[in-house]
Amino acid sequence: MSLDISVVIITKNEVDRIGRCIQSLLALTDDIIVIDSGSTDGTINKAKELGAKVYESPWKGYGPTKNFGHTKTKYDWIISIDADESLSADLLAEMNDLELESGHVYTIDRQNFYLGKQIKYSGWSPDWVYRVFNKNEVKWNDNLVHEKLVIPSDFRIKQLKHKLIHDSYRSIEDHKIKVEKYAALRAQIWLDKNNHPSHLKRVFGPLFKGFKSYILKLGILDGKEGWTIAKMNFHLVKRQIHYFDQLKKSKS
């Protein structure tokens, strides 16, 4: 069965994950759009082999790149998905039976995995994300990181029942690389908005971020993976402040 819905996936060097992502969508739609920004690992060929339409585009930021993808779709309804995500069999069945309604945005709970283990705490579950919408009614904002859908206040949000599978990081090294990337982007946002980290944030921010993940969000129950996530959260805030200070110094 094919639904009148298009898929938009943004990629860069995802050859090891794009196959599972696309294959989980083939029974949902005949319009899978991949917007690739500089892959050198075979991602483009792999996506094309599986039937996706691939468009190469310079990186514009998360929101703008996804919005560019909307311009390439056949249908008005979009499911926005990342290369490290895939539809569970139950979610696929639910999507195929879904009656899409104008004035609605649909949200899905991600089932997050870290280094092969399902994470049930650590602030990672539940993890509701906006994924299904009409491109004529909503779009992504221009945030450098953690882009958000701009949703009219009178829209209804409908939760789907089944899970979106999310394999968050390939390895601890991959997690460290993402920490550096997102920390640098967040620092740039702080600078652009003249939002200087306070003295309290500098002293206690990293500790609180780790404590919140491990204790307040019960990451301790996720075992060694919960401890690793908490440490990464600690380093994320430290690196945000580090990059902010570098940017401020270079600007002065």
**Chain segment 162-182, per-residue pLDDT in tens:** 999 999 999 999 999 999 999
Alpha-carbon dihedral of residues 239, 241, 243, 245, nearest 10 degrees?
-150
Single-letter amino acid code for the residue at 9? I
Pairing outcome for strands 104-114 and 128-134: antiparallel
Neighbouring CB atoms inside 10 A of 40's CB total: 9
Across-strand partners of 8? 33, 80
Neighbouring CB atoms inside 10 A of 95's CB total: 24
> Residue 162 in 3-state DSSP?
strand
> Residue 235 in 3-state DSSP?
helix
User: What are the structural domain ranges in the chain?
Assistant: 6-167, 172-251
What's the pLDDT score for residue 252? 74
6-167 maps to CATH 3.40.50.1000 = no
Give the pLDDT confidence of 221-231 residue by residue, as tens digits: 999 999 999 99
Alpha-carbon dihedral of residues 70, 71, 72, 75, nearest 10 degrees?
60
What's the pLDDT score for residue 144? 75
Give the pLDDT confidence of 32-88 residue by residue, as tens digits: 999 999 999 999 999 999 999 999 999 988 999 999 999 999 999 999 999 999 999
Is the pTM higher than 0.95? The answer reads no
**Residue 121 to residues 103, 115, 168, 215: CA-CA distances in angstroms?**
32, 15, 14, 10
